[in-house]
């Protein structure tokens, strides 16, 4: 496929991703002005998106958050750092808390791991999500996380500051930071034409690696496991002429993971316009038929 047409193709597919993503954000409609709603979006959809995470974490984290919101009469203060973590632990009965990768776990929290030679104690070394918000004085400056990120990007004309702030949180890696920031700038329609380090808005996973490996004709990229992710994200931004690179990234992921569904079919479709468009048409029809044929029950 011609590269310019390919990028436009992925940008168009990104619309399917964006439709679903905007529905998820609108579950918490006050995210622009309410720190609690914005945190709920981050915890529900992004903070625990890592391999091997427990599915319960998403919902438990949101319930812990809103329990503390009610208990503190919506006031956001230092005391909720430990309160939210305690409530999270309580709701999971202190089982499988994954301290070292948990963004609600306060810095310096002691935990133990089992080894063949016995148990060994560790302490978390990075700040929790709540600590980062409080210690950066977001509340005192009348910012939510949303408004702070928007203000910082527009003022500094750079993504790196807010990206580094997110990666300073316990359990938040580069992929999660890029994933969240990409969706946030899309929801808020933040202009990025003159913003530096735009490649930091490109979360890279196995589907993105495989796709860019084929498009760039680079076998090393296709077979990489993370070591070339920055090169991949820069390649996407640099090859998006007259299209939106964030929406292209969304489309690349959706096409690979949900429309093509296999490496074999992905590679076939990237070399064949007709097959690629046929797969998209089939996917769209499946979505339409699924909801058209579904029976929704109303509460009596």
169 phi and psi angles, rounded to 5 deg = -80, 140
Give the three-state DSSP class for 123: strand
Residues 6 or more apart in contact with residue 194 via CB below 8 angstroms:
157
pLDDT of residue 297: 60
- Nearest-angstrom CA–CA distance, 289 and 278: 16
Cα first-last separation, the chain: 53
pLDDT of residue 53: 81
pTM: 0.94
| DSSP collapsed to 3 states, the chain | CCHHHHHHHHHHHHHHHHHHHHHHHCCCCCCCCCHHHHHHHHHHHCCCCCCCCCCHHHHHHHHHHHHHHHHCCCCCCCCHHHHHHHHHHHHCCCCCCCHHHCCCCCCCCEEEEEECCEEEEEECCCECHHHHHHHCCCCCCCCCHHHHHHHHHHHHCECHHHHHHHHCECCCCHHHHHHHHHHHHHHHCCCCCCCECHHHHCCCCHHHHHHHHHHCCCHHHHCCCCCCHHHHHHHHHHCCCCCCHHHHHHHHHHHHHHHHCCHHHHHHHCCCHHHHHHHHHHHHHHHHHHHHCCCCCCCC
DSSP letter assigned to residue 111: E
pLDDT of residue 300: 56
Residues 6 or more apart in contact with residue 196 via CB below 8 angstroms:
157, 158, 159, 160
pLDDT of residue 282: 96
Contact 1, 267 (CB under 8 A): no
pLDDT of residue 298: 60
- pLDDT tens-digit profile of 16-30? 999 999 999 999 999
Give the three-state DSSP class for 132: helix
Q: What are 89's strand-pairing partners? A: none
Longest dimension (CA), the chain: 59
Contact 159, 147 (CB under 8 A): no
Q: Quote the radius of gyration of the chain (alpha carbons, Å).
A: 21
Segments of the chain scoring below 50 in pLDDT:
none
Please report where in the chains the tokens 């048409």 appear, as a residue: 281
DSSP letter assigned to residue 101: G
- Give CA 147 to chain center in angstroms: 18
pLDDT of residue 8: 96
């Amino acid at each position: 496929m011609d590269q310019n047409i390919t990028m436009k193709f992925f940008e168009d597919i990104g619309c399917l991703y964006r439709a679903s993503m905007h529905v998820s954000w609108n579950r918490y409609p006050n995210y622009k002005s309410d720190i609690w709603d914005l945190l709920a979006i981050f915890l529900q959809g992004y903070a625990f998106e890592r391999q091997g995470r427990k599915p319960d974490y998403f919902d438990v984290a949101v319930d812990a958050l809103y329990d503390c919101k009610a208990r503190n009469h919506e006031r956001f203060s230092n005391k909720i750092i430990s309160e939210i973590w305690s409530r999270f632990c309580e709701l999971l009965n202190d089982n499988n808390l994954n301290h070292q990768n948990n963004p609600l776990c306060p810095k310096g929290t002691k935990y133990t791991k089992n080894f063949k030679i016995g148990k060994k104690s560790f302490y978390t070394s990075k700040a929790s999500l709540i600590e980062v918000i409080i210690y950066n004085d977001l509340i005192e400056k009348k910012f939510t996380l949303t408004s702070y990120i928007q203000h910082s990007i527009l003022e500094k004309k750079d993504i790196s500051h807010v990206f580094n702030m997110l990666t300073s949180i316990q359990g938040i890696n580069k992929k999660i930071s890029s994933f969240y920031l990409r969706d946030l700038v899309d929801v808020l329609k933040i202009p990025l034409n003159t913003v530096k380090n735009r490649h930091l808005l490109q979360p890279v996973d196995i589907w993105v690696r495989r796709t860019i490996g084929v498009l760039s004709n680079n076998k090393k990229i296709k077979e990489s496991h993370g070591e070339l992710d920055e090169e991949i994200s820069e390649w996407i931004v640099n090859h998006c002429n007259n299209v939106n690179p964030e929406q292209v990234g969304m489309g690349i992921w959706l096409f690979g993971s949900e429309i093509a569904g296999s490496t074999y079919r992905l590679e076939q479709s990237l070399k064949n316009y007709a097959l690629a468009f046929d797969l998209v048409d089939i996917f769209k029809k499946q979505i339409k038929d699924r909801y058209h044929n579904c029976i929704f029950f109303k509460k009596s």
